[in-house]
């Protein structure tokens, strides 16, 4: 029995309850349009009363069951003027009540509730539930990943990916519409699509994007501007499905003094697939399990990294 089973069971239970509320609201177009707002005067960053209600419901349930645990949620953070996340090594629930709110508002069914438990800043369980498509993704550290109780990846046998040229890639434009952001994202898309690759897709939900990589339906996902609650649960799911989740740049421990990082002036090259992933760093790069194994994952991730055009995004 997994040491994380009790956490996973509670997360699944509340995700299903919340899913009913999300689905009922999704099917009531008038209710959504009557209860729609925008964040920080940004018309591309939407929030509904359902987002807020679901987050309160999930937080209330988890607080009762695990009263010593901490909590980070999208709407709680937004209500606190997007204050920095106080993420410690203590058990912390990381919640996105509706990932894909714009899809939710427009009636596009790529939405989900995303629930993760972090211990020592690492996702140890992940639950992502799309109540419209009735897709329940679950995972626990060293316990495997599943879609509706069937092991991930669902595409079997595990497919090879000989070159980046043969890949189907996912990315998003995000809610940041500054000139710098738009230029960097469009220039990166140009670098990727002109490689060329088979294609680029956008499903409008970071959690759903990563789940489609975990399934084996898409090969790679990259995005800048995401938040911890967008990707925490999916990180656990994708890793347990044999995938790799890293940042756009080599991992650096921000808590370490600079002198400790540069002990000799020469750092060893670390394989990308072995890097830690900083959940608060606002960018993600991931790849599915490959038939060729980790060496090929590392090679293709390096190729993608060489084409990513970064810009500064404030840490969570």
Catalytic positions: 74, 96, 98-99, 101, 230
Residue 192 has pLDDT above 60, yes or no: yes
Lowest mean pLDDT among 159-163, 245-249, 261-265: 261-265
Report the predicted TM-score, pTM, of the whole model to 2 decimal places.
0.92
Residue 258 has pLDDT above 80, yes or no: no
Residue 29's φ and ψ, nearest 5 degrees, are: -60, -40
Round to whole Å and give the CA distance between 104 and 46.
10
Residue 266 has pLDDT above 50, yes or no: no
For the stretch 115-174, pLDDT in tens is 999 999 999 999 999 999 999 999 999 999 999 999 999 999 999 999 999 999 999 998
**Domain residue spans of the chain:** 5-151, 164-254+268-305
Q: Please indicate if the annotation marks 149 as binding a ligand.
A: no
Round to whole Å and give the CA distance between 207 and 118.
16
For the stretch 35-60, pLDDT in tens is 677 655 555 556 788 999 999 999 99
Q: Please indicate if the annotation marks 99 as binding a ligand.
A: yes
User: What would be the CATH architecture of the domain defined by 164-254+268-305?
Assistant: 3-Layer(aba) Sandwich (3.40)
User: What would be the CATH architecture of the domain defined by 5-151?
Assistant: 2-Layer Sandwich (3.30)
Q: Would you place residue 268 in the very low, low, confident or very high pLDDT band (cuts 50, 70, 90)?
A: very low
For the stretch 66-98, pLDDT in tens is 999 999 998 777 556 566 788 999 999 999 999
Q: From residue 222, give the alpha-carbon distance in Å to each of 191, 248, 301, 306.
A: 13, 8, 10, 12
Q: Is the torsion defined by CA of 311, 312, 314, 316 positive or negative?
A: positive
For the stretch 202-217, pLDDT in tens is 999 999 999 999 999 9
């Amino acid at each position: 029995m997994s040491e994380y089973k009790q956490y996973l069971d509670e997360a699944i239970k509340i995700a299903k309850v919340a899913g009913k509320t999300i689905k009922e609201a999704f099917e009531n177009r008038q209710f959504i349009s009557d209860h729609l707002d925008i964040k920080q005067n940004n018309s591309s960053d939407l929030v509904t009363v359902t987002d807020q209600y679901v987050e309160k419901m999930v937080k209330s349930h988890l607080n009762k069951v695990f009263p010593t645990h901490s909590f980070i949620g999208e709407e709680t953070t937004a209500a606190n003027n997007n204050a920095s996340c106080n993420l410690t090594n203590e058990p912390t629930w990381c919640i996105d009540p509706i990932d894909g709110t714009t899809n939710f508002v427009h009636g596009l069914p790529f939405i989900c509730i995303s629930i993760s438990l972090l211990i020592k800043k690492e996702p140890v369980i992940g639950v992502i539930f799309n109540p419209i498509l009735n897709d329940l993704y679950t995972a626990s550290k060293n316990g495997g990943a599943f879609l509706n109780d069937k092991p991930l990846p669902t595409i079997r046998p595990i497919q090879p990916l000989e070159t980046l040229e043969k890949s189907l890639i996912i990315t998003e434009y995000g809610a940041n519409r500054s000139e710098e952001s738009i230029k960097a994202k469009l220039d990166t898309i140009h670098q990727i699509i002109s490689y060329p690759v088979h294609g680029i897709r956008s499903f409008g939900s970071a959690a759903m994007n990563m789940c489609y990589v975990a399934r084996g339906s898409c090969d790679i996902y990259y995005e800048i501007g995401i938040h911890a609650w967008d990707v925490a649960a999916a990180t656990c799911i994708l890793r347990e499905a044999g995938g790799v989740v890293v940042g756009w740049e080599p991992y650096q421990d921000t808590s370490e003094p600079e002198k400790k990082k540069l002990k000799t002036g020469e750092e060893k090259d670390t394989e990308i697939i072995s890097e830690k992933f900083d959940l608060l760093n606002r960018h993600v790069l991931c790849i599915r399990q490959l038939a060729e194994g980790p060496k090929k994952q590392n090679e293709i991730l390096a190729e993608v990294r060489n084409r990513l055009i970064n810009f500064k995004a404030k840490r969570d």
